[in-house]
Amino acid sequence: MNAELVGQNWFADFRYMAEHYDWGVITYTMHPHVIGRGHRMLMLEGLIENLASAGARFVTMEDAVAEYQAKFPEGLRAPGG
């Protein structure tokens, strides 16, 4: 798969979340042996730049959990759940 297309897909995941939800967390997980290759590092750098330009906040998972618990003290239920 084309690296540029992959980067666009990752960004589209964020864009969808931002357009459809008031609040959310998106994570990207990459194996060090995979992301450590030069062209993939460039793709990741571009993704980070695009996310920052689109208003994404970068936080630790600990901070994301604390914000979730403050916003939704009763938790959330899936529709129909």
| Each residue's pLDDT tens digit, 1-57 | 565 666 788 999 999 999 999 999 999 888 877 777 888 888 888 999 999 999 999
| Residue 40, domain member (yes or no) | yes
Looking at the 3D structure of the chain, how many domains does it have? 1
| Residue 26, domain member (yes or no) | no
Which pLDDT score is estimated for 4? 67
Q: Is the pTM of this model over 0.85?
A: no
Dihedral of the alpha carbons of 13, 81, 64, 33, in degrees to the nearest 10: -50
| Residue 54, domain member (yes or no) | yes
What whole-number distance in Å separates Cα of residue 52 and Cα of residue 54? 5
Which pLDDT score is estimated for 71? 92
User: Which domain range does residue 57 map to?
Assistant: 3-17+31-71
Residue 81 has pLDDT above 60, yes or no: no
| Residue 77, domain member (yes or no) | no
| Residue 81, domain member (yes or no) | no
| Residue 62, domain member (yes or no) | yes
Residue, of 78 and 48, whose pLDDT is higher: 48
| Residue 39, domain member (yes or no) | yes
Nearest to 58 by CA among 70, 44, 69, 75: 44
